[in-house]
Structure 1
Amino acid sequence: MHLWRACPLALLWASLGIAQVSGDISFTLATPSGRTQFRLGEGVELEMRFSTTSPGRYAVWTTNTTRTIRQARFDRFLVDPQAGVADPLQDIFAQFDSGAAIGLPPPPLPVGAAVVVRVQLNEWVSIRQPGRYRVTAETSRVIIAGQPASTLTLRSNTVEIDVVPPEAGWAAAQFEQAVAVLERTDLRQSNEPERATRILRFLETREAAGALARFFEDGPSGAQKQLHAGLFVSPYHAEVMAAMERALNAPDRPITYITLQP
């Protein structure tokens, strides 16, 4: 696994729990409602909050909040300690995004109101054993307003979270609910299938691995990127390969270029 290493000064900022400020702009990392405890295999939602005291000077990209490739466009996360922590997409075939446009330049960052970008930590970092972890973010989402190429790199404060073993039956219930959503045919145009796939992806259980392989290509089209990434995320590689081989051998299943990707 390759996690970026912070410089000593950045670690000092992190240890003090202070958001890094670049002159007149600040970047703060937080959890919704200040939550600090999460189950093993549960999504860890983080909020990246940006604020400024200079009207019209800065803007913040709010797109690209999911990660299905090796090198994410904007954000990186440092988790300490590193024992039991892995980059879930270190082996995925897609290393970088296409470099294509990511939309119109964002509007200037308002004064007196923070812009909040929400991400799931699990898409960047997989925590695979219980414990207390310190999470710090680095981002290049901030630009000079009207100048998309003029990025600023900011480092956040540190957030502490406790990851605990889930209660009996929790993982099974999450699995059943997610599969039930993916089996429905009336949700093709909603975001529910993608959210359900993300639940399976974060669970990282043997059963979840089989479901990811089952719905890959045959499941909702809006969930395919998450399904593809989930196959690489799962620590149950043997089960994934066996399920994919069974699918390839099925006489009624076509073979596509996606199936043949490494």
Structure 2
Amino acid sequence: MPGLIDRTALVTGASRGIGQAVAVRLAAEGALVVVHFGTDENGAAATVDRIVRAGGTALAVRAELGVDGDVETLFAGVEAGLAGRPLDILVNNAAAPPAGPLGGPTRAEFDRLFAVNVRAPYFIIERALPLLPDGGRVISLSSVATRMANPAQTSFAMTKAAVETMSRTLANQLGARGITVNAVAPGATRTATNGAAFDVPGLPERIAAATALDRLGGADDVAEVVAFLASDAARWITGQVIDASGGLFLGPRG
């Protein structure tokens, strides 16, 4: 029997990529899933359609993150969709992409990156707390960029490091209620929407050669980890960053 029957979940940025895979996976476990999207209405509809066709339950909610009133707009839709039910699982997946090396992003781009990747998840969690029952789950997506020195992702890595620190701190704060707070850090993950980025000749092979499990990751690989942390089996895990990269850049392999 699926392990999340009668649970509800909100997945931000669930119109594509890892967020879509997470939403589909949680629904397969029996959860009612609120599929958040910012601009990709067709992608969100496709996520909901996949879930419904598989026998699950989902609804889409639109809210642009990183702007004034974003959290209020999001939760107006969430609460309407839940119709009085609690929110058992919150997955902060939505994020703005890397904005380049030092000297690359403008101040406005830098501020936008932090608004979406740091400010939004912080206040989404704050707003979700009255809806989260004791024993709830908060899971935020980080990145292996926090443990590697990649000059092309300096500002992005900074935002994800903030998410990891937030997760550890909130785990300590919310533990008395049995609420677990964790982060999941994917590595190089090929999805239906970013596949072109990996079409550079030789790039997939170079990444696989630097990965302990010898292949590129997929969105489903990450979704499985999130689903585990959302389950009762992960009730004793909190304040952790779970590396879901297949062992990317662990050290020399030869």
Compute the TM-score of the two structures, normalised by the length of structure 1.
Answer: 0.24
- Mark the structure with the bigger radius of gyration: 1
Higher relative CO (Cα under 8 Å, sequence separation at least 6) belongs to 1
Would you tell me which structure has more strand in proportion to its own residues?
1
In the superposition, the TM-score normalised over structure 2's length comes to 0.24
Structure that is richer in helix per residue: 2
